[in-house]
Structure 1
Amino acid sequence: MKVIDLNHRGIRTTKLEATRHFYEDLLGLEQGHRPSALPSKGYWLYAGEKPIIHLVEDSDGSIDGTNTPREDLTDAGGQTHMALTVEKARDAVDRLIEAGVPYWDRLFKNPVMYQIFVEDPNGFLVELIDRNPGEINGPICKIVE
């Protein structure tokens, strides 16, 4: 067996619309086909032709929906995260700033890799990786030589 790529990540949430807004409007995913036979309310969010986020509404209250934000938005021990390979990551930064959503970023010089860390409305950590960021205008939290 050889793992090729991330197929999708399911997120169960009591904040379905806020979570959809985050992934669509701030990160640029698009709502697409979701089988109507599925019993719960939710959305499948696509990157191109691929559904990579499955949002499922928590209608039975089995999760409490409270957030405990981490100050540095890094993957603290035991916390799960999802990493997405992206292009033009600074466009996402502009949208996050405009929406008042905190993020943390860093740029690796060798090999070149620009990372952005941001929490969705459920406190789930999302890492955006741009391997060809070009020239970055504006401040960066950390530069790694």
Structure 2
Amino acid sequence: MQLDHATIVTADLDTARHFFVEIAGLTEGARPPFPAAGYWLYANGRPVLHLLDATATAPRAAGRSAPRIDHLAFRLDSAAEWQALLARLHAAGVDHHTAQVPQMGAQAAEQQLFVALAPGVVIEFVTALPHGQLHAQR
């Protein structure tokens, strides 16, 4: 089993699209002709993130709680990808903070970078690359 895609419902569709395309590095691609506005964003040729206009979604059934995703995480496997992400974040003036997942057994420590895209929507970028490789190309 593998994750197919995630959907973010947002009232600011264009800002979300801009972040995921211009900052995160996903590409906008083909999307079926759904009646509600939205975008399908691709990574490595696959549609992995669907953005949907919150103002066009149907009202929720009475008594049904709103689903919630705490955050999405994208893995970067090369120092060049990490450096390119940092450059885009800095160029766009996007606030972010970093953290580290401590080493666990034989699994190496991982570096994390978090961006609060909108209230309730956090995007994480994670890599297992050593800290020195992540900053060597600045």
- For residues 114 and 46 of structure 1, the distance between their equivalents in structure 2, rounded to whole angstroms, comes to 24
Q: Judging changes above 3 Å, is the alpha-carbon distance between structure 1 residues 84 and 6 closer, same or farther for their aligned structure 2 residues?
A: farther
- Counterpart of 2:98 in structure 1 is 105
- Counterpart of 2:62 in structure 1 is none
Secondary structure of the equivalent of 1:19? helix
Q: Mark the structure with the bigger radius of gyration.
A: 2
| Identity of matched residues, % | 31
* Residues 1:128 and 2:125 are matched in the alignment: yes
4+ residue runs over 4 A deviation: 60-63
- Report which structure shows greater RCO (CA 8 Å, sep ≥6): 1
Deviation at 1:53, TM superposition (A): 0.8
RMSD over aligned Cα, in angstroms? Answer: 2.6
Higher normalized helix content (fraction of residues): 2
Letter in 2 for 1:43: Y
- For residues 6 and 83 of structure 1, the distance between their equivalents in structure 2, rounded to whole angstroms, comes to 12
Aligned residues: 120
Unaligned runs of at least 5 residues, structure 1? 64-77, 139-145
Deviation at 1:123, TM superposition (A): 4.3
Deviation at 1:29, TM superposition (A): 0.2
Structure 1 length as normaliser, TM-score?
0.71
Contact 2:36 2:56 in 1 (8 A): no
Q: Judging changes above 3 Å, is the alpha-carbon distance between structure 1 residues 35 and 94 closer, same or farther for their aligned structure 2 residues?
A: same
- For residues 69 and 45 of structure 2, the distance between their equivalents in structure 1, rounded to whole angstroms, comes to 29
Unaligned runs of at least 5 residues, structure 2? 60-67
Q: Deviations over 1:49-90 (max 9, x none)?
A: 111110011224889xxxxxxxxxxxxxx8711112123223
- Counterpart of 1:117 in structure 2 is 114
Secondary structure of the equivalent of 2:18? helix
Deviation at 1:20, TM superposition (A): 0.1
